[in-house]
């Protein structure tokens, strides 16, 4: 699929902010005229403040292109003086710098989505697009986090995916949810057919591990989208 590449730099006004978990913040931004992207794609953002204007970081759109605003869901790391800490200080009325639309995850058809932490963010727009168009058939999600209060948009994911959505917690046992890591043994137990598409996103080590397990169990390399 062809995507328009945005090369301009925009100063985009923040319309609203709110926390969706204890350390993950939602940003609603003005959408520039004629700006376009597709679900699963990302842009580069920088804080519009002295010393931070050229500190660009990659973030996935969680909004849809048909919406009249942009949405990002970003984990805020307050334990060090970095870009997300600075983003955490921003509220409605200020602005963010933005440039470059580029592909992160391209949706290529039904499959199993495996996310770790904020690796769920490029999947959110994909799920929303499929859900609103009535095309959620043969879509499943395994979502891994350290703790239950790390889960992003749990209610909306439940609404969109229903029984095809499962949570797993690596550092906390929660009744009614998987109380373990997504590992090779788990994949063997719950996935009978590895001749299908898999979408994997999360921390680098998580993506490497899951991709390795899938290949070991018979998934095709060209069917794993990371």
Q: Return the number of other C-beta atoms located less than 10 Å from residue 12's C-beta.
A: 21
Separation between Cα atoms, residue 133 and residue 91, nearest integer Å:
32
Alpha carbon dihedral 64, 109, 187, 160, in 10-degree steps, equals: 40
User: pLDDT tens for residues 97-106?
Assistant: 999 899 889 9
Per-residue pLDDT at 179: 55
Full DSSP string of 79-105: TSSSHHHHHHT--TTSEEEEEEEEES-
Q: Could you give the domains of the chain?
A: 10-103 (2.40.30.10), 111-225 (3.40.50.80)
Please, what is the average pLDDT of the chain?
92
Higher pLDDT pick, 79 / 61: 61
pLDDT of residue 1: 45
Summarised one tens digit per residue, pLDDT across range 166-203 is 988 887 665 655 457 788 888 998 898 999 999 999 99
Q: What percent of the chain has pLDDT over 70?
A: 93
Phi, psi (rounded to 5 degrees) for 47: -80, 130
Torsion sign, CA atoms 172, 173, 178, 183: positive
Residue 23 pLDDT > 80, yes or no? yes
Q: Mean per-residue pLDDT for 210-224?
A: 96
**Residue 66 clears pLDDT 80, i.e. is over it:** yes
Specify the DSSP class assigned to residue 221.
G
Mean pLDDT of the region 142-164: 95
Buried b (16+ CB within 10 A) or exposed e, 189-226: eebeebeebbbbbbeeebbebbbebbeeeebeeebbbb
Give residue 177's pLDDT. Answer: 53
- Give the residue from 223, 226, 194 showing the smallest Cα distance to 208: 226
């Amino acid at each position: 699929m062809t995507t328009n590449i945005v090369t301009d730099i925009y100063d985009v006004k923040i319309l609203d902010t709110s926390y969706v978990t204890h350390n993950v913040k939602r940003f609603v931004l003005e959408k520039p005229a004629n700006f376009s992207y597709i679900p699963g794609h990302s842009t580069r953002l920088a804080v519009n403040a002295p010393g931070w204007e050229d500190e660009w970081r990659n973030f996935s759109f969680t909004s849809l292109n048909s919406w009249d605003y942009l949405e990002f869901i970003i984990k805020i790391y307050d334990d060090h003086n970095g870009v997300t800490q600075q983003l955490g200080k921003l509220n409605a009325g200020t602005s963010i710098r933005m440039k470059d639309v580029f592909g992160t995850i391209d949706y290529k058809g039904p499959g199993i989505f495996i996310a770790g932490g904020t690796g769920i963010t490029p999947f959110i727009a994909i799920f929303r697009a499929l859900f609103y168009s009535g095309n959620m058939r043969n879509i499943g999600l395994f979502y891994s986090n350290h703790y239950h209060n790390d889960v992003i948009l749990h209610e909306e994911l439940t609404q969109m995916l229903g029984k095809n959505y499962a949570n797993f917690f690596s550092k906390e046992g929660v009744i009614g949810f998987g109380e373990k890591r997504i590992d090779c043994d788990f994949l063997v137990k719950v996935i009978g057919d590895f001749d299908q598409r898999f979408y994997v996103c999360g921390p680098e080590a998580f993506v490497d591990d899951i991709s390795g397990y899938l290949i070991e169990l018979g998934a095709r390399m060209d069917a794993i989208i990371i």
